[in-house]
Structure 1
Amino acid sequence: MAADLNNAPTAAELVTAYAAGTLSPVEATTAALETIRERDADYNAYVLVDPDRALASARAAERRWRDRAPLGPLDGVPMSIKDLFLTRGWPTLRGSRRVDPDQPWDVDSPVAARLREGGLVLLGKTTTPEMGWKGVCDNPLTGITRNPWDTSRTSGGSSGGSAVAVATGMGPLSVGTDGGGSIRIPAAFCGVVGFKPTHGRVPQYPLSSLAVLAHAGPMARTVTDVALLLDALALPDHRDPYHLGPHDGPYSRAADRDVRGVTAAFSADLGYVRVDPEVAAVVASAAQALRDAGMRVEAADPGFPDPLPAFDVLWCAGAAKWLDVFDGRADDVDPGLRAVIERGLAYSAGDYLAAEAERLALAVRMGEFHTRHDVLITPTVPIPAFAAGHDVPPGSGMSGWPEWTPFTYPFNMTHQPAISVPVGFTAAGLPIGLQIVGPRHAEELVLAVARAVERGPGRASGGGR
């Protein structure tokens, strides 16, 4: 069973229809709910769906469009939100049996608050591995989330439910989190666009125990939709001490800028990654298409060694703090998560400080790299989606999920914006993603290059889809 990426309208198409009066938010929300009813049993993208609240929100949006007074550019667009974000009125169980659902649940995270303020229609919450701890999407509470192009394969994670919901027409937009690739990995595996903006661009509350690595960002089928959603999300919130100030102008306008003359370093392997030949060929072809379209693309590696040891310290030490959520007990959590927590507890303060020093040095190195290259282009993930129900590719001999996603976690450490854009398929019909990394605070540039990739060969200047 393959995903249908062509029939469902994009968010941009929906709001154009709302403005013209040819479609209403109630009709769009009803269609999305019907698609969830028809399809989600095959994929397990949603952990919670709330038709009554969604339709009530859609009716309010319909009245605003009728009065020509929408709350924002995406008013009335149905969407999902990952089950790591506090969302008033709904439990946030994080894929865990250890989170008590019988709580007030009366606080909105900054993400949920901004979505409501913009009039977006929340359909429900999407699946995540327990606490979002790994790069695939299964958990002890709701089971496995499956790839929309081949249900025997993983969707990727940890924002796997969001990627699948978007890919299959179960809502054109979603918001995910990314601490080591968790937006970009499932975007690549599911054939959608996933954007991890600069750290702090999308405020978070409560802060993750992985706050030094954790980002939040939009997921959609098109770069235009991602940019529109980022406009709604990228507003300051006093509850996040890392939040950035307001940005200049709408990202949705910047996405269509002309990128001819932009300099891009194309690194096929970062100097140390083994890449599947099909993935390598498709990504290289996409990089060549940008060169043909007028960008200055040259082969260049950033020149850093694999920072996995430092990432492992930061990741596992942060994961150990989840014991507070689990009331000090981890005996009935995902066994892989339990092992990560135990490893994190064994690290010393000195280990953590040394890893943080390496993280900062990596950020400085990438800052210098971007004085010579506007953006860095790589594969998003070096392999296609593998069998569902496994944390690592079966038979690979790998011990942990970061080993198969070496292109993503370095740029959580450096806090840079990075996006995954679909660029083709394997012979077996599995999507392949290309990653674009920019300097910190350069969301506009990253979106513009991503839009050029999406437009295809020979079209690096702005224009319609």
Structure 2
Amino acid sequence: MLDAGCGLELDDEIRVAIENMAGVLADMGAKIIPVDPVMTPAMLSGLDHYWSARSWAELSQLPPDRLEKVLPFIRTWAQRGEKVSGVAAVDGLGQTFAMRRKCAQLFEHVDIVLSPTTPNVSFPAEYPGPTNDPERSFDHIAFTVPWNMSEQPAISIHCGFSHGGMPIGAQIVTPRFADLQAIRLAAMYETARGPMPRWPLPPS
């Protein structure tokens, strides 16, 4: 899965790293097929509406001195929830069940899903998130959030480096309750892949 269906555009370096990992898995005997995304913009937007409303319901109860201690980015993002209607919040919660259905439907046809962990290689350390924009605060989680909602095990594993020396993560997703399958497949890939530098430790 190289298209999350929404959110940030996938960096080319990550795409190449995931394709290379797929090649390693194919050499191990896996049948690799492309799959469509499970996420949609409506799902991600609905989740944002629901979580911001829920977060503001909690943060708004804090006394002013404690509210001031919340990271300004988070405070701004959550306060948007004040304007989310009850209908929109419930619809947003409903999007989590839509994700579960799409994930279950996909696993009627595949045994595992291989995807990037994140669509971007890195972002400035001063940023609270890749977009640095409370209006787009979820744009970097579209590859990972559906499996959280569907309660499926997933493991992120190092599969290469960017040209700038940053590690790239691949995500292996397995069916519900198949946690050991994810761990075993990751271990098999690590063995086939061979040793890699233990970032951020310097090369020995």
Q: TM-score normalised to the size of structure 1?
A: 0.38
**TM-fit CA distance, 1:373:** 0.4
Other structure's SS at 2:32 match: strand
Shift in alpha-carbon separation, 1:338–1:435, aligned structure 2, 3 A: same
Counterpart in the other structure of 2:177: 441
**TM-fit CA distance, 1:304:** 4.1
Q: Which has the higher contact order (CA 8 A, sep 6+)?
A: 2
**TM-fit CA distance, 1:325:** 7.1
Which protein is richer in helix relative to its size? 2
- 1:295 is the counterpart of 2:30: yes
Unaligned 5+ segments in structure 1 are 1-266, 459-465
Shift in alpha-carbon separation, 1:353–1:344, aligned structure 2, 3 A: same
Alignment of 1:414-433 (within 5 A): 414-433=150-169
**TM-fit CA distance, 1:453:** 2.2
**Percent identity among equivalent residues?**
29
Please give the per-residue CA displacement for 1:346-387, whole angstroms capped at 9, x wherever unaligned: 223322221222211220121121111011110001111221
Other structure's SS at 1:433 match: strand
1:338 to 71, 75, 81: 75
Unaligned 5+ segments in structure 2 are 195-204
Which protein is richer in strand relative to its size? 1
Contact 2:53 2:84 in 1 (8 A): yes
Please give the per-residue CA displacement for 1:190-219, whole angstroms capped at 9, x wherever unaligned: xxxxxxxxxxxxxxxxxxxxxxxxxxxxxx
Residues of 2 paired with 1:332 and 1:304: CA distance?
Answer: 34
Q: TM-score normalised to the size of structure 2?
A: 0.82
Shift in alpha-carbon separation, 1:325–1:420, aligned structure 2, 3 A: farther
- Runs of 4+ in structure 1 deviating by more than 6 angstroms, as ranges, are none
Alignment of 1:120-199 (within 5 A): none
Please give the per-residue CA displacement for 1:36-81, whole angstroms capped at 9, x wherever unaligned: xxxxxxxxxxxxxxxxxxxxxxxxxxxxxxxxxxxxxxxxxxxxxx
**TM-fit CA distance, 1:398:** 7.9
Shift in alpha-carbon separation, 1:398–1:299, aligned structure 2, 3 A: farther
Shift in alpha-carbon separation, 1:411–1:303, aligned structure 2, 3 A: closer
RMSD of Structure 2 on Structure 1 (CA): 2.5
Residues of 2 paired with 1:432 and 1:353: CA distance?
Answer: 36
Counterpart in the other structure of 1:410: 146
Shift in alpha-carbon separation, 1:379–1:448, aligned structure 2, 3 A: same
Counterpart in the other structure of 1:123: none
Counterpart in the other structure of 1:280: 15
1:367 to 75, 89, 104: 104
Shift in alpha-carbon separation, 1:303–1:385, aligned structure 2, 3 A: closer
Shift in alpha-carbon separation, 1:398–1:298, aligned structure 2, 3 A: farther
Report the AA paired with residue 77 of structure 2: V
Other structure's SS at 1:404 match: coil
Q: Which has the larger radius of gyration?
A: 1
- 1:268 is the counterpart of 2:5: no
Other structure's SS at 1:300 match: coil
**TM-fit CA distance, 1:393:** 4.2
